[in-house]
């Protein structure tokens, strides 16, 4: 069978395809769900590896707050902020190269390798801190970022091949919310582990080892596409490929970078993604310090209170994604409108919550936690907004498109903790924290406003570069005709 890397997706709008919807497979749980589960597990481990440093760093530099029997490092606040941002130095560099590699090689193999290598680097971090100080910790984080730069391009490429459009919202949200539940469990466990008899090094050992194991699992059980899965049923494969409108060709399309860079919807998507990256990573990296310095939570309570908003977000992600897909399928709203409504909930509600958080006093910790729950829980709606818009604009190049937008957006992940470090000279000063929260709220607001004004869900013309090159005008067949075409290809393989 021809590899999917020698295929392209010829696509029209979701509403056009759904006029004659493809037949759903007989089994309620299919191999696409298994693949999505494996992706979600991998993304869970990726985020756990990313955020374990946020809480562990407090224990590493303040042994009295955790277990004083373990080594303590006397690093300045500025050094701590540099460590928190260093992951993104490498993460930004490899986004685009990795997205190109997913088109030419294998997204499944690259994602597996990413999990294994980043897990091993995490396991090595305590030793790096002991022998090389904060400089070697930064080196480990930079290298971890370098390999994890492939994560989103890989996942977007795999999801564009495995998720039928009418299930795209909930399948994609399930995968990406795996990162959020990774935040929850990692933040909860890290506080307890750091204060336990096995101390803060165990945080790196446990989460690094789980990353390695998940990489091995995905290498053994994951597949690049339905056409390459050896055990997938014919009706499920037909359902996925018919929904996506996959047809075979004998040429590998090159990524149309010039058209991508000249596309207004892509830039609107980029602005929304930059706002998301800034707000998300500002909250994730700085809230443990806020809880410790302003709300006076100890290391155990800090991890619990920091994790609670992400647990709430993970729980609310399921009804949000289901309602989003249902409204599109029932034609209550268009795909374009659904994306913008979800993104508005995901950005403007957290912006308002952050403004409110700036006025919470030190004697109101419960109110602070409640506001954080609202901010982070509503932010999950962005996964049904701009986060899957790459697949709307270009199913063929969803991976490279994610690589491009996330490269620039990741710069916000670098700047967020660094700028927080510049603004917050005294971590016990609520006025300085207020400035950080107001800045994040403004970035959220502007990013989503641009997405509302200029974003779209229509497949872009440059999604079919081979057709444009050959000046061939083709129409996508209706679903019944496509089913016949796929069946004919299956018949040709039967002697």
pLDDT band of 376, cuts 50, 70, 90: confident
> Is the pLDDT assigned to residue 17 strictly greater than 80?
no
pLDDT band of 491, cuts 50, 70, 90: very low
pLDDT band of 371, cuts 50, 70, 90: confident
> Average pLDDT for residues 340-358, to the nearest whole number?
93
Give me the pLDDT at residue 125, please. 94
Contact 386, 401 (CB under 8 A): no
Q: Compute the radius of gyration of the chain from its Cα atoms.
A: 23
Distance CA 325, CA 300 (A): 38
Closest to 376 (Cα-Cα) out of 286, 456, 457, 300: 286
Strand partners, 246: 9
> Is the pLDDT assigned to residue 23 strictly greater than 80?
no
Angle 365-379/264-293 helices, nearest 10 degrees? 160
First-to-last CA distance in the chain? 15
Q: Which range is least confidently modeled, 7-11, 70-74, 419-423? A: 7-11
Give me the pLDDT at residue 411, please. 81
- For residue 37, with 0-12 CB atoms within 10 Å meaning exposed, 13-18 middle and 19 or more buried, which class applies? middle
For a pLDDT cut of 70, what percent of the chain falls above it? Answer: 85
Which position has the higher pLDDT, 187 or 352? 352
Give me the pLDDT at residue 19, please. 47
Tens of pLDDT, residues 384-400:
999 889 988 998 888 88
Give me the pLDDT at residue 161, please. 87
> Is the pLDDT assigned to residue 343 strictly greater than 90?
yes
- Which among 26-30, 33-37, 285-289, 310-314 has the top mean pLDDT? 33-37
Contact 101, 110 (CB under 8 A): yes
Could you tell me the domains of the chain?
31-225+257-461 (1.20.1250.20)
Which position has the higher pLDDT, 297 or 467? 297
- The contacts of residue 273 (CB under 8 Å, 6+ apart) are 386, 387, 405, 406, 408, 409, 447
> Is the pLDDT assigned to residue 123 strictly greater than 50?
yes
* Block residue for tokens 């294994």: 116
Which position has the higher pLDDT, 62 or 73? 73
Give me the pLDDT at residue 463, please. 85
Give me the pLDDT at residue 35, please. 93
> Average pLDDT for residues 86-115, to the nearest whole number?
87
Question: b/e map of 82-117 (b: 16 or more CB within 10 Å)?
Answer: bbbbbbbbbbbbbbbebbbbbbeebbbbbbbbbbbb
Give me the pLDDT at residue 396, please. 83
Contact 364, 389 (CB under 8 A): no
If you average pLDDT over every residue of the chain, what do you get? 82
Give me the pLDDT at residue 253, please. 67
Give me the pLDDT at residue 336, please. 93
Contact 358, 437 (CB under 8 A): yes
pLDDT band of 300, cuts 50, 70, 90: low
pLDDT band of 230, cuts 50, 70, 90: confident
Give me the pLDDT at residue 440, please. 92
246 token code pair: 């996959």
Tens of pLDDT, residues 446-473:
999 999 999 999 989 898 765 555 444 4
- Which among 74-83, 374-383, 424-433 has the top mean pLDDT? 374-383
Give me the pLDDT at residue 488, please. 40
Whole-angstrom CA distances from 108 to 250, 254, 376 are 22, 20, 30
For a pLDDT cut of 90, what percent of the chain falls above it? Answer: 31
pLDDT band of 77, cuts 50, 70, 90: confident
Which position has the higher pLDDT, 95 or 11? 95
Which position has the higher pLDDT, 31 or 284? 31
pLDDT band of 21, cuts 50, 70, 90: low
């Amino acid at each position: 069978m021809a590899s999917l890397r020698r295929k392209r997706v010829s696509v029209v709008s979701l509403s056009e395809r759904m006029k004659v919807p493809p037949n759903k497979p007989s089994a309620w749980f299919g191999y696409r769900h298994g693949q999505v589960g494996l992706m979600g597990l991998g993304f869970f481990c990726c985020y756990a590896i990313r955020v374990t440093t946020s809480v562990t760093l407090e224990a590493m530099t303040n042994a009295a707050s955790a277990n004083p029997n373990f080594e303590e490092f006397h690093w300045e606040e500025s050094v701590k902020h540099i460590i928190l941002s260093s992951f993104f130095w490498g993460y930004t560099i490899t986004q685009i190269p990795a997205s190109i590699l997913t088109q030419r090689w294998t997204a499944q193999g690259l994602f597996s390798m990413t999990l294994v290598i980043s897990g091993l680097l995490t396991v090595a971090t305590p030793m790096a801190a002991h022998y090389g100080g904060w400089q070697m910790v930064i080196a480990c984080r930079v290298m971890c970022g370098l390999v994890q730069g492939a994560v989103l391009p890989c996942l977007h490429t795999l999801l564009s091949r495995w998720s039928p459009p009418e299930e795209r919202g909930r399948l994609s949200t399930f995968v990406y919310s795996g990162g959020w539940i990774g935040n929850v469990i990692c933040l909860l466990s890290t506080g307890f582990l750091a204060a336990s008899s096995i101390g803060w090094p165990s945080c790196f050992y446990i989460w690094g080892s789980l990353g390695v194991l998940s990489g091995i699992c995905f290498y053994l059980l994951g597949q690049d596409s339905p056409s390459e899965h050896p055990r997938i049923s014919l009706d499920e494969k037909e359902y996925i490929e018919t929904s996506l409108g996959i047809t075979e060709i004998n040429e590998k399309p090159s990524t149309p970078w010039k058209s991508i860079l000249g596309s207004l919807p892509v830039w609107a998507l980029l602005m929304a993604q930059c706002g998301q990256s800034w707000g998300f990573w500002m909250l994730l990296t700085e809230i443990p310090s806020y809880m410790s310095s302003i709300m006076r939570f100890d290391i155990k309570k800090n991890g619990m209170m920091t994790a609670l908003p992400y647990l709430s977000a993970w729980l609310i992600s399921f009804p949000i994604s289901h309602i989003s897909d249902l409204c599109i399928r029932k034609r209550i709203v268009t795909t374009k409108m659904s994306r913008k409504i979800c993104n508005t909930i995901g950005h403007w509600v957290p912006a308002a919550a952050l403004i409110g958080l700036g006025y919470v006093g030190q004697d109101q910790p419960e109110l602070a936690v409640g506001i954080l729950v609202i901010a982070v829980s509503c932010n999950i709606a962005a996964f049904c907004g701009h986060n899957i818009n790459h697949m709307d604009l270009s199913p063929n190049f969803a991976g490279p498109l994610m690589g491009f937008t996330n490269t620039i957006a990741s710069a916000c992940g670098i700047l967020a903790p660094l700028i927080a470090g510049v603004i917050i000279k005294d971590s016990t000063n609520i006025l300085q924290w207020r400035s950080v929260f107001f800045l994040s709220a403004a970035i959220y607001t502007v990013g989503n406003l641009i997405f509302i004004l200029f974003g779209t869900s229509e497949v872009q013309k440059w999604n079919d570069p081979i057709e444009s090159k050959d000046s061939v005008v083709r129409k996508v067949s209706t679903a019944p005709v496509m089913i016949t075409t796929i069946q004919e290809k299956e018949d040709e393989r039967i002697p």
